[in-house]
Amino acid sequence: SSHGSRGAPHIMLLPSAGMGHLVPFTRLAVALFAGHGCDISLVTALPTVSSAESSHIAALYAAFPAIRQLDLRLVPFDASSEFPGADPFYVRYEALRRSAPLLLGPLLAGTGASALVADIAVASVAIPVARELHVPCFVFFTASATMFSFKAYFPTYLDAVGAGHGVGDVDVPGVYRIPSSSVPQALHDPDNIFTRQFVANGRALVTADGLLVNAFHAMEPEAVEALQGGSVVSGLPPVFAVGPLMPVNDLRETREAAQEQGHYRAWLDEQPPRSVVYVSFGSRKALPKDQINELAAGLEACGHRFLWVVKGAVVDRDDAGELSELLGEGFLRRVQGRGLVTKSWVEQEEVLRHPAVALFVSHCGWNSVTESASNGVPVLAWPRFADQRVNARVVARAGLGVWAEQWSWEGEEAVVRAEEIAELVMEAMGDDAMAEKAANVREAASRAVADGG
Strand (E) or helix (H) holding 124: helix 123-132
- Note whether 198 and 167 are within 8 A (CB): no
- What phi and psi, each to the nearest 5 degrees, are found at residue 4? -80, -170
154's CB contacts (< 8 A; 6+ apart) are: 170, 187, 198, 199, 202
Reading phi first (left if > 0) and then psi (alpha if -120 to 50, else beta), residue 189 is in: beta
Rule CB under 6 A: choose which of 11, 12, 14, 19 binds ligand UDP.
19
Q: Which stretch binds ligand UDP (CB under 6 A): 129-137, 210-218, 255-263, 279-287?
A: 279-287
Question: Does 345 help bind ligand UDP (rule: CB under 6 A)?
Answer: yes
Least CB distance to ligand UDP at residue 295 (A): 16
- What phi and psi, each to the nearest 5 degrees, are found at residue 307? -120, 115
Of 148 and 366, CB closest to ligand UDP: 366
Question: Does 407 help bind ligand UDP (rule: CB under 6 A)?
Answer: no
Quickly list H helices, 335-410: 348-353, 366-375, 388-398
Catalytic residue (one of 10, 21, 56, 304) = 21
Rule CB under 6 A: choose which of 184, 244, 282, 378 binds ligand UDP.
282
- Note whether 107 and 72 are within 8 A (CB): yes
**21 a catalytic residue:** yes
Task: Give the end-to-end CA distance of the chain in Å, rounded to a whole number.
Answer: 32
Which of 278, 297, 289, 285 has its CA nearest to residue 384? 285
How far is Cα 449 from Cα 209, in angstroms, rounded to an integer? 23
Rule CB under 6 A: choose which of 23, 147, 170, 299 binds ligand UDP.
23
How far is Cα 311 from Cα 125, in angstroms, rounded to an integer? 33
Q: Which amino acid is at 114?
A: S
- Note whether 401 and 451 are within 8 A (CB): no
**119 a catalytic residue:** yes
Least CB distance to ligand UDP at residue 390 (A): 13
Rule CB under 6 A: choose which of 15, 18, 243, 298 binds ligand UDP.
18
Q: Which stretch binds ligand UDP (CB under 6 A): 38-46, 60-68, 249-257, 344-352?
A: 344-352
Question: Does 43 help bind ligand UDP (rule: CB under 6 A)?
Answer: no
- Note whether 414 and 437 are within 8 A (CB): no
Question: Does 347 help bind ligand UDP (rule: CB under 6 A)?
Answer: yes
Question: Does 172 help bind ligand UDP (rule: CB under 6 A)?
Answer: no
Question: Does 146 help bind ligand UDP (rule: CB under 6 A)?
Answer: no
Which 3 state secondary structure label does DSSP give 157?
helix
Rule CB under 6 A: choose which of 348, 372, 374, 375 binds ligand UDP.
348
Least CB distance to ligand UDP at residue 346 (A): 4
Of 124 and 348, CB closest to ligand UDP: 348
Of 310 and 422, CB closest to ligand UDP: 310
Question: Does 399 help bind ligand UDP (rule: CB under 6 A)?
Answer: no
Buried b (16+ CB within 10 A) or exposed e, 212-236: bbbbbbbbbebbbbbbbeebbbeeb
Q: Which of residues 49-68 bind ligand UDP (CB under 6 A)?
A: none
Catalytic residue (one of 10, 39, 87, 119) = 119
Question: Does 214 help bind ligand UDP (rule: CB under 6 A)?
Answer: no
Q: Which amino acid is at 187?
A: L
Question: Does 368 help bind ligand UDP (rule: CB under 6 A)?
Answer: yes
Question: Does 261 help bind ligand UDP (rule: CB under 6 A)?
Answer: no
Q: What does the binding site for ligand UDP look like in residue numbers (CB under 6 A)?
A: 18-20, 23, 280, 282-284, 309, 345-349, 365-368, 371
Q: Which residues are catalytic?
A: 21, 119
